[in-house]
Structure 1
Amino acid sequence: MTLVGACVLKFLTCLTTQHDLRLLVVAVLVCMAGCFTTFRLYSRMRGARGVVRAAWLLLTGLVAGSSVWATHFIAMVAFTPGLKTGYSPTGTLLSLMIAALFMASGFAVASAQRSTTNDFTGGLLLGLGVAAMHYTGMSAFVTQGRLVWEHATVGLSAILGVSGAVAALVAAGNARTTKRQALGGGLLSLGIIALHFTGMSAITIIPDTSIQVPDQLLSGAMLTLAVGSITAMIILGGLGAVAIESQTSRSALERIRRLANAAYEGLVVVQSGKINDANAAFCELAGAPLSELIGRPLIGAMLTIEDSGSGHEGVRREGRLQPVGGGREIPVEVFSRLMDDGARIETSGLTVLAIRDLRERRAAEEKIRYLAEHDGLTGLPNRNSLQARLAAAIERVEASGESLSVFCIDLDHFKDANDQHGHQAGDAILVETARRLQAAVQSPSFVARLGGDEFIVAQVAGGDQPAAAAELSGRLLEMLSAPMAFEGQDLSLAASLGVSLYPEDGRAAETLMANADMALNRAKESGRGVYRFFKREMDDSIRERRNLARDLRQGIADGELVVHYQPLARAADGEVCGFEALVRWKHPTRGMIPPLDFITVAEENGLIGALGDWVLRRACADAAAWEKPLRIAVNLSPIQLHDPDLPSLVHEVLITSGLSPSRLELEITESALFKDYQRALDNLRRLKALGVRIAMDDFGTGFSSLSTLQSFPFDKIKIDKSFVENIHRHDRATVIVRAVLGLGRSLEIPVVAEGVETEEQILFLRGEQCAELQGYAIGRPAPVDALTAWTVAGASTIAEPDVGSARKVKRSA
C-alpha cells in the first residue's frame, strides 16, 4: 500500500473511531463561520489605506487566527483516545498568538497588490500559520502516554493546509461579492480541516501509566467553554463591524445619491476613464438609464472636452456630450474634482464631474447677440452690424474681383401713412418693405435697416456693376411701388433710392454709405420715386444704356440686325476656307452700331439669348446657300454655352437650314467655361457628337490654361489679335505667338491668327506653320451679297470685293 493510501486509511479510522462526531460538526461550523467572516473583513481591508487598513488587518488576523485556533481545540476536545487528557495553558495561548500573527501576515501580503505571486506567498504564510498553530497546540496536549509522530504525514498535512489557503486567496480575488467571500472561506476551511485531521492521523499514542496528567491543566470542558466563548465574541465582533460599516456606507451613499439626484447639474463619477456612478440629471442628458451607463467610457467617447489637458481640477471647461441613443451633440460646461481621500483603494483615481447643460445659455446668448445685431421689428441687420458686414463685403470683392454697390433707400411719405393709419400700420409697412427687399437680393448681397424708414442694400455681383446696380434699382423701385393690404385697405408705398459704387465712389464702408445718402438726397430733390447715382455722369451713362437696351429689344423684333462675314484664309496658299459671322445693328436713327456697343447691353438685359439664336440661324441659312462648301464660324456667348437646350437648338438649325454639321464652327472663349465648367463641357461634347467643330477664341487672354485643352479636344485655337498685332514690335508678343503655334503643332490642333494686317505678319506666321489667317490683310467684314467672288463655284479666289488684300496674300504664296 502506498504512503498516500495508508494516510487516507489512518485518517478515516482516526476520524470515525477516535472523535466525538457531534463536537466535530461544531468545529466545522465554527471554522466555516470564522473563515467566511475573515474574507468579509479581508474585502474591507483590501479597499482601505493607512490607519483604517491597519485596523481592518488587525481585526482580520484576530478573527482568522481565533477561528483556526477554535477549530483546532474544539476538534481536540472531540478527540477521545481513552486516556486522561489535559491542556497546558501556556501552549494553548501561544498557539492562539501564532495563529493570529501568521494570519495577519498572510492577508497583508496577499492584499498588498493583486497578483498571483502575492496570492501564493500569502497562502503559504496562511498555511504555515495553520500548521504552526496546530502543532504548537499539540505541544500543549498532555495525556497518559507517549506521542509518536509520522513525519511524512505531518509534511502532507502542511502541504494540504498551504494548498487550501492558496486556492482560497486565488478564488476570492478582491472578495468584493458575497459569493467570492463564501468561496474563499469554504476553501480555507477545507484546508484547515484537512491539515488538522491529517495531522491527527500522524499521531500514535503509546499508553504509559508512569506519566501523570497534572490537575491544574485545562480540562476539555473548560477548554470548550473558553474557546467557544472567545471565538464567538471575536466572530460576532467581526461580523458586527462589517455590518455596521456596510450599513454606514449604504446610508451615506443613499444620502449622497438623494442629494445628487436633487441637483440641477449632471453629476458623474469616473474611475479609470469609465462611468462608475451618475445622478438622474446626467442620465437624462445622456439619454440612458444608469444601468446602461455604468462601465461605459466617458472622456473621448461620450464626452469631448475642448481642453482635456491635465491640471484642470475645479476649472471651468467646455465640451460636447453625445447622447447614447445618438442625435445632436449637447454643449456642456464641465467641472472636475478628485475624490481620492487616501483611505480607500476604491477611491483611487476616482473623479466626479459636474456637467452643466449649456443649451439654454447658448440659446439665450445667441438671442442676445441676435438682438444686438438685428432690428427687432424687421429682423434685418441693424446699424451696429451693418458696418462690419459691409467691411466684410468689401474684403470679399477685393479678393474675388467681384463688384459692389451700396443702395440707400428711403420710403416716400412714410410719416404721413404712419400718422394717418397709426403706428401699427407704420410697423406693417416697414415689415413688408423688409420682406420685399430681401426677396430682391441673394447672398452674398444683403439688406439692413438703419432706423426709421431708411434701409441699406449692399449688392455683390459680377460683371459691369453700374448696369447691374441700375437694373436692381429699377426692380427695387418697382417692387416698393406696389400697394400693400392692411386691415382691409390698400396702403400706397413708394421709395427713393441713392447708389454709390465701389471703388469709384469710395473704398471704405463709411464713405460708400455717406455717398449713397448724398445720392438719395438728390433722388428726393428730383421728385421722389426715382434712383440716382452718386456721380451725375453715371446717371447719364446708365440712362443711355437703358435706352439702348430698349431700342435693341425692339430692333431684334423689327429685324434691324444684319450679319457681316469676315474671311479666313489658309496661310500656306492664301485660299479662302471660311468666314466668321459678325453681327451688326443698323439703328434707324443712330446708324450702324458696332458689336462692342450693344453686345454687353444685350447680356445685361437678358437679350443675348434671342440675339445669339438669330445670328446662328441667319449665318447657317446664308452659308447653306453658298455654292462652295466653305465653313462658317459663329461666336457663342457664355449664356448660350451654359444653356442645356443649346445642342438641341443647333441640331434643329442644321436640319432647318440644310447646312452640313462639318461646315459649322462654334467659337467660345475659355472664360465662358468657368461659370459652370461641367455643364459647359457636357454641351461641347454633345455638339461634337453632332459633327460640329469647336474652336477656342481669344486664346492667350482671360483664363487660358493647358488644363482646358486637356479636358476637351478643340478643333481649332485662335490667337488673340492683341498678340498678333505686336509681332516684331514686342519681343514677348513674338515669343508668345511662336509658343502657341508650337503648342498647336504638338497637340495637332490647327491655330488661327486673328488681326493679321501686314505682309510682315503674314510671312512670319507662314514661316511658323500657322494654319489659317484672319484680319484686314485677308478681308474686311462684308454683307453676304458682297461675298460672291469667294462663294460661287469657279469664281476666282483672288477677287476681293472691296480691297485687294486677298490678291496680296495669293502673290505672297
Structure 2
Amino acid sequence: MAGLVLLLAAAIVLQIGTGGLAAYVALLCAGLVWLVASADRPTSTTVLNRAIESVPAGLCVFAPDLRVIASNQRYASIYGLTRADIKPGTRLRQIIEARKAKRGISERVIDAFDGFDGMATSVHELRDGRFISVSRHPMTGGGLIEVHRDVTSERLAEMRANETMQELIEKQYAIDQAVIVAITDVKGIINYVNDNFCTISGYSREELIGQNHRILKSGVHSKQLFRDMYRSLAGGHVWRGELCNRAKSGKLYWVDTVITPQLGPDGKPVAYMAIRVDITARKEAEAKLSFAAAHDSLTGLLNRCALFDQAGIGSEPDVQPDRLSVHLIDLDGFKRINDTFGHDVGDRLLEAVASRLRSLATDRDLVARLGGDEFAMIRRVGDGAAGAAVDLGRRIVDAMAAPFDIEGHQIDISASVGIVLCPEHGSNSADLLKKADLALYDVKAAGRRGHRLYQPAMLEAIKGEKVLEAELRRAISAQEFELHYQPILDVESRTVHTAEALVRWRHPVDGLVAPDRFIALAERTGLIQPLSEWIIQRACLDAASWPPHVQLAVNVSATQFKRGNLFDVVLQALLRSGLNPRRLQIEVTETVLLEQQSEQLQTFRRLKSIGATLVLDDFGTGFSSASYLTNFPFDKIKIDKSFIQGLPRRDCAAVIASAVVLAKGLGISVTAEGIETEPQLDHVRSMGIDFAQGYLFGRPVPYRQLKCATVFPDGPGRVLQTATAGAN
C-alpha cells in the first residue's frame, strides 16, 4: 500500500508541476477509487489522508452524489475555509457557497475547456486578484476529483506576454510600411538606393552610389553565410534571410532581406535587387524575451535552467563535462527580514546580494538565483579544485557577513554555502544539487554561517537520519517515551520550587535515548507536534499528584507555536489532569519569537489569562533577548548554563549581573541553569538569583523517583527532608 501511495503522490506532483494531466489522471483516479473503497479500514483512511495531504495543491475527492469523501488542508487554505467547511459528507454546492462567503471572496470563471474522457479544467478569478485553476476528473464508478492550484503567477505572466506580443505586432505593422530598396551589379557595387535606405543607414545617396555593399558589413555573420547567399543568387535563385548591417554612425540594425537576381538574355544574373524591412525593434524585443527566459526578473542573474544549460552540465551525456565547482548559497534568516521590514526591503536586499555575488565572480563564472533566497555560483576550476572551491565558499560567506544598507536600514544577514565538484560528485544537475544541498544542510545543522564541501559521509548521515525518523514515528505510535524531572530550587530556602519535565526515549534496543539524539529531527520532520502534545498532557497528569507548592515547567518548541493550537493543547491538558494553571510554567526559547511575533504575543496573552507562568529559556544567548522582555509578558528568565559554567570570569559575571538587574527592574524572577558546585550557587545567590537548577541538586529522574518535597542542606547541620512524587 505504501508503494501505491508514493506512486499516487508522484503522479499528482508530476501532473500538477508540469500541467500534463493526461499522462497521470488514469493512475490517479484508479488509485483513489481503490483507496476510497478501502476507506472504512483505519489504516486505509490514514494512507488516503497522508496521500492527499502530500499533494502540493488543493485536492478534494467527491462521491457520486457530490459529497466530500476526503480533502487536504491546502484545498481549505486556498479559499480561507476551515476543516469543518470541507468535512466528509459536505456537498459541493455548500463548499462553493462557503467559498463565496469567506472573506468576501467571489469567483468569476474566466477560462474553461473540456478535456479527455469528461475531464474539465477552468480558471477562476477571485475578488482578491488571485487566479485558481480547477481541474475536475471523473472517477470510474462515479464521483470526481478536484485539483485546485493557485496559478496567479502563471496567469499574470501570460497576460504580460500577450501584452508584449501585441506591442510587437503593432510595431511590426508600422515597420512593414517602410520598405528599404537597393540595386547592385553582380560585383556588389551599389547603383540605386531609396530614401528609406539612406535614412536607416545614415549615408547620403551620393555616399552610397558607386560603393560596394560591404560598406554596410557588420561583422556579425559568418563567411559561410555569404558564400551560401552568392551561390544561390548565381544560380538564379531568390535568397531570403535576416542580416545585420552597420550604419554610418556605427550602430547595428537588422533587416529582413529578399534579394532577387535580374537575369540577362543568357539566363545569368546581371544585377541584384534587395528589398529590406527594418526588423531591429523585433530583434531587440526577441533579445529581451530571450534574456527574460534565461534570467531572474528581480536580480538579473541567470535562472536555474539557464545556469546548468550554460555550464554544459548534463546537456550531452556522452561528453565529459568540464571540471566545475558548484556553490549552493542560502541566506540565513531572510524570512525574518521580510517579516520585519517588508517585502520591498527584502527585494532590495536580494538585489544587493546578487550584486555582491557578481563582484566575486570572474568573466567565466556563472551566477544564478534559483528562487526565493537561494543562489548558486558555478566556476570552472583546474588543479587543486577542492581547495579553490572551499576558498570561494569562504569568500562568499565573508561577503554576505558585511552589513547591507537597504533604504536606510542596516541589515545584518549571513549565508550558508554547500559546495560540490563536477564531475567528482556528479555529472548532472540533479545529482550536483542534491549533494550541494546535503553539504548546505550540514552547515545549517552546525549553526549556519559557514561553508562545507560535500563528503560521501553526508549522504550516509542522511540515510541514517531517515532510518531514525522512521523509528521515531514508530516510537510515537508505540508510546516509547517517558518523562524525567529535574528539580529547580528556591536558593534561599533550598527547597524544591519547580520540576522541569524532560523527555526520554526508551528505545527497545538502544535503551534510554537522550533528547539531543531526536528532538532536532522531530522538529525538522514535524513529529515534534504529537510528541509535544503528549509531553504536556503526561506532565500535567504527573504534576497533579505533587505537593501543591511544587510547580511544573514544560518546554515548548517553535514548531508548536507556529501551528497555532498551543493554547488549546495546554487547556485540554489542564482540564484533563485537574492541575491548577498557576502551577504550570511554559518555557520557550528565543527561536519561538523570531517569526510571527504578533501571533505569538496573542498566544502568550491567552496563556497568561488562565494563570500560566511564561519563562524565557537560555537567556543571553540571542541577539535580542533584552528586547523580548519588554515586548512579551514574561514572568521569569533562565540564564543559560554557559554563563554559569564561565564563572568566575568577569565577562560571564557581568552578563549575569546585568540580566538580574534588568529582570528585577521589570519585576521578573531569575533562574540560573547548570549549577554544579556550591561556589557557583553562592556566587549567583550573591547576585540576586531567585532559583537554581543543576546537577548539584540532582539529575533528571523518572516520575516515581522525584523527591519533590526535598530540602537540600547547605551544611552538615541541616536536615534533609524528602517526599516522593506521589505523596500528598
TM-score class, shorter-chain normalisation, is 0.3 to 0.5
What is the TM-score normalised by the length of structure 1?
Answer: 0.38
Q: Which protein, 1 or 2, shows the higher relative CO under an 8 Å CA cutoff with sep ≥ 6?
A: 1
What is the TM-score normalised by the length of structure 2?
Answer: 0.42
More strand by share: 2
